[in-house]
C-alpha cells in the first residue's frame, strides 16, 4: 500500500476564538478559545489519522511554537519529520463571530526559509519515499521561498515516481500546475481566476476541470464551498452534492476533502466510494470547531447522505 506524506512549508499554531458581535475599532471579548497544530498539510495528516490511515507530516518548524506543534502531532500518533529553521513558527488567529456569522483570519508572518534549506528537504523526501507513494503539497509558501517552489518540488517528486497532490493558490498554484502534479484541488474562484473567465454553474466548472485534465493533470477536484464539488479525470466527470450540516468552522474543510481523497487513493477505493468519503469528511469537519479533525464515526454517519451525479 502506498505511504502518504504531507508537506507544510508554512505551518502555524491555529488559535481559534469566539467573539460574539466582533467589531473593528472596539474592545472585543473572547468567550471561547482553542489551539490546534495548523497549516494545510498538517490538517490533511490530522484528518487521515482520524479516518484510520497513517501519514508522515513534513513541516518547517521553528522555536517553541514549532516544538508544540510537533509534540501535539506525535501525541496524536502522527509521525513528524521536522525541517528545522531559526526563528519562531507563526501563530494564526481565527476570530469566529457566533452572532454575525463571520470568520476573520489574522495571520502572522512565519520564519524566513532559504531555498537551500528547502532543496535539502526535498532531497530528504525523495530519499525516504518509494515509487507510487503520495506526497501532498499544500498551503502558502514561507517567507524567502521562491515563487516556483511548488513547481520545482512537483517536477522532482513526479520524476521520482511519486503521486503529487497539490493544493495551493495564486502564483504558487500556477507554478506547481505547470509541472503537472497527479492531483489538484482548486476552489471555483481560484479556477476562475486561473482561467481568466467566470465559471457560472456546475457545467462551466466541469468543462474547466476537464480542460485542466486535458493539459496533463490526472485528477482535478474543484470545491465549491457549500455547493459541493466537481471531480474530473480523463475518463469521468462527477458532481458531488453538499451535505447540509450545522457549521462550526469552515477552516480546513478543503483540507479534509484532500485528506479523504488521498486516503481513498492509497486504499484503492472506487471513484464513487472516494467521493462519498471525501464529501462526508468535509461536512463532518465543518461541524467541528477550530481545525480539529472529526471522528470517523461522524464521517460514516454522513456517507449515505452524499448524492453523486455522473456528468460524463
What was the pLDDT predicted at 254? 86
Q: How many helices (H) and strands (E) does the chain have?
A: 10, 14
List Cα–Cα distances, 220 to 166, 238, 274, in angstroms. 10, 11, 13
Q: What is the largest distance, in Å, between two alpha-carbon atoms of the chain?
A: 55
What was the pLDDT predicted at 169? 87
Helices (H), 62-144: 63-75, 115-128
pLDDT mean over 200-213: 93
The DSSP letter of residue 28 is -
Q: Does the pLDDT at position 251 exceed 70? A: no
Work out the pLDDT band at 9, boundaries 50, 70, 90.
Answer: very high
pTM of the complete model: 0.92
Residue corresponding to grid cell 454517519 = 301
Assess contact for 291 and 277: CB atoms under 8 A: no
Assess contact for 28 and 22: CB atoms under 8 A: yes
Comparing CA positions, the residue from 300, 271, 270, 279 lying closest to residue 225 is 279
Cell numbers given for 138:
499544500
Q: Does the pLDDT at position 249 exceed 80? A: no
What was the pLDDT predicted at 80? 97
What was the pLDDT predicted at 195? 84
pLDDT mean over 56-77: 96
Q: How far apart are CA 50 and CA 161, in angstroms?
A: 27
**Residue 196: how many CB atoms within 10 A of its CB?**
6
Point out the residues that are catalytic: 255
Comparing CA positions, the residue from 50, 118, 37, 123 lying closest to residue 84 is 118
Q: Does the pLDDT at position 204 exceed 70? A: yes
Q: How far apart are CA 159 and CA 164, in angstroms?
A: 10
Mean confidence (pLDDT) of the chain: 93
The pLDDT tens digits for 40-54 are 999 999 999 999 999
The pLDDT tens digits for 112-133 are 999 999 999 999 999 999 999 9
Report phi then psi at 164, rounded to 5.
Answer: -100, 120
pLDDT above 70 covers what percent of the chain? 97
pLDDT mean over 144-166: 97
Cell numbers given for 271:
471513484
Q: Does the pLDDT at position 250 exceed 90? A: no
What was the pLDDT predicted at 252? 67
When mean pLDDT is compared across 68-72, 209-213, 258-262, 291-295, the lowest value belongs to: 291-295
CA 248 to chain centre: 18
- Bridge-based pairing of strands 79-84 and 4-8 is unpaired
pLDDT mean over 151-180: 95
Helices (H), 215-308: 253-267, 271-286, 296-302
What was the pLDDT predicted at 60? 97
The DSSP letter of residue 303 is G
When mean pLDDT is compared across 18-22, 29-33, 94-98, the lowest value belongs to: 94-98
Work out the pLDDT band at 312, boundaries 50, 70, 90.
Answer: confident
pLDDT mean over 212-223: 95
Work out the pLDDT band at 289, boundaries 50, 70, 90.
Answer: low
H or E stretch covering 22:
none
Amino acid at each position: 500500500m502506498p505511504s502518504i506524506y504531507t508537506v507544510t512549508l508554512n505551518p502555524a499554531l491555529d488559535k481559534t476564538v469566539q467573539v460574539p458581535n466582533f467589531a473593528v475599532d472596539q474592545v472585543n471579548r473572547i468567550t471561547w478559545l482553542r489551539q490546534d497544530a495548523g497549516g494545510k498539510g498538517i490538517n490533511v495528516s490530522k484528518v487521515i489519522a482520524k479516518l484510520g490511515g497513517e501519514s508522515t507530516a513534513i513541516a518547517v518548524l521553528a522555536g517553541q511554537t514549532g516544538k508544540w506543534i510537533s509534540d501535539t502531532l506525535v501525541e496524536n500518533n502522527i509521525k513528524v519529520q521536522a525541517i528545522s529553521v531559526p526563528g519562531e513558527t507563526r501563530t494564526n488567529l481565527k476570530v469566529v463571530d457566533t452572532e454575525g456569522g463571520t470568520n476573520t483570519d489574522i495571520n502572522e508572518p512565519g520564519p524566513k526559509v532559504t531555498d537551500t534549506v528547502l532543496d535539502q528537504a526535498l532531497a530528504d523526501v525523495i530519499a525516504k519515499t518509494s515509487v507510487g507513494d503520495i506526497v501532498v503539497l499544500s498551503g502558502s509558501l514561507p517567507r524567502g521561498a521562491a515563487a516556483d517552489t511548488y513547481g520545482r518540488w512537483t517536477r522532482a517528486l513526479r520524476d521520482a515516481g511519486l503521486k503529487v497532490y497539490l493544493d495551493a493558490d495564486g502564483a504558487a498554484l500556477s507554478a506547481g500546475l505547470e509541472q503537472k502534479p497527479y492531483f489538484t484541488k482548486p476552489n471555483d474562484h481560484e479556477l476562475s481566476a486561473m482561467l481568466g473567465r467566470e465559471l457560472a454553474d456546475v457545467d462551466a466548472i466541469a468543462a474547466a476541470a476537464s480542460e485542466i485534465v486535458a493539459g496533463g493533470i490526472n485528477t482535478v477536484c474543484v470545491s465549491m464551498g457549500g455547493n459541493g464539488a466537481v471531480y474530473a479525470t480523463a475518463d469521468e466527470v462527477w458532481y458531488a452534492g453538499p451535505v447540509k450540516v450545522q457549521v462550526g468552522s469552515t477552516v480546513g474543510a478543503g483540507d479534509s476533502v484532500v485528506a479523504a481523497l488521498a486516503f481513498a487513493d492509497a486504499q484503492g477505493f472506487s471513484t464513487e466510494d472516494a467521493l462519498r468519503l471525501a464529501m462526508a469528511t468535509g461536512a463532518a469537519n465543518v461541524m467541528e470547531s477550530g481545525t480539529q479533525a472529526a471522528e470517523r464515526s461522524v464521517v460514516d454517519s454522513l456517507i449515505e447522505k452524499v448524492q453523486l451525479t455522473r456528468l460524463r
